């Protein structure tokens, strides 16, 4: 087994930059989102298509990122 059709893209979610990586393992698509600058993994999801896996992972990532509080500095 190998990761096939590996791709990454950046986007903004809830005001934060996010990196999404997705690839296919066999017949299953895997997607992961991280918050770019700190690089921490936010969410992972699987689906039968790339779109489905990415849609799930982005929904979860947006939910988590939306909880981030900005302090006055």
**Do 41 and 34 touch, CB atoms closer than 8 A?**
yes
Enumerate binding residues for other proteins (CB under 8 A).
1-4, 6, 16, 21, 23, 25, 30, 32, 34-35, 37-42, 44, 61, 64-65, 67-71, 73
Nearer to other proteins, 14 or 49 (CB): 14
Which residue bears the tokens 């896996």?
Answer: 53
Q: Measured from the CB atom, is 7 or 51 closer to other proteins?
A: 7
Three-state SS letters, 34-55: ECCCCCCEEEEEEECCHHHHHH
Residue 71 Cβ, how far from other proteins at the closest point, in Å?
5
């Amino acid at each position: 087994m190998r990761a096939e059709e590996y791709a990454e893209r950046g986007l903004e979610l809830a005001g934060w930059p996010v990196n999404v990586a997705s690839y296919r393992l066999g017949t299953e698509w895997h997607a992961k989102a991280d918050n770019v600058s700190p690089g921490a993994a936010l969410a992972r999801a699987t689906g039968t298509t790339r779109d489905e896996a990415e849609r799930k992972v982005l929904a979860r990532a947006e939910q988590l990122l939306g909880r981030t509080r900005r302090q006055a500095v």
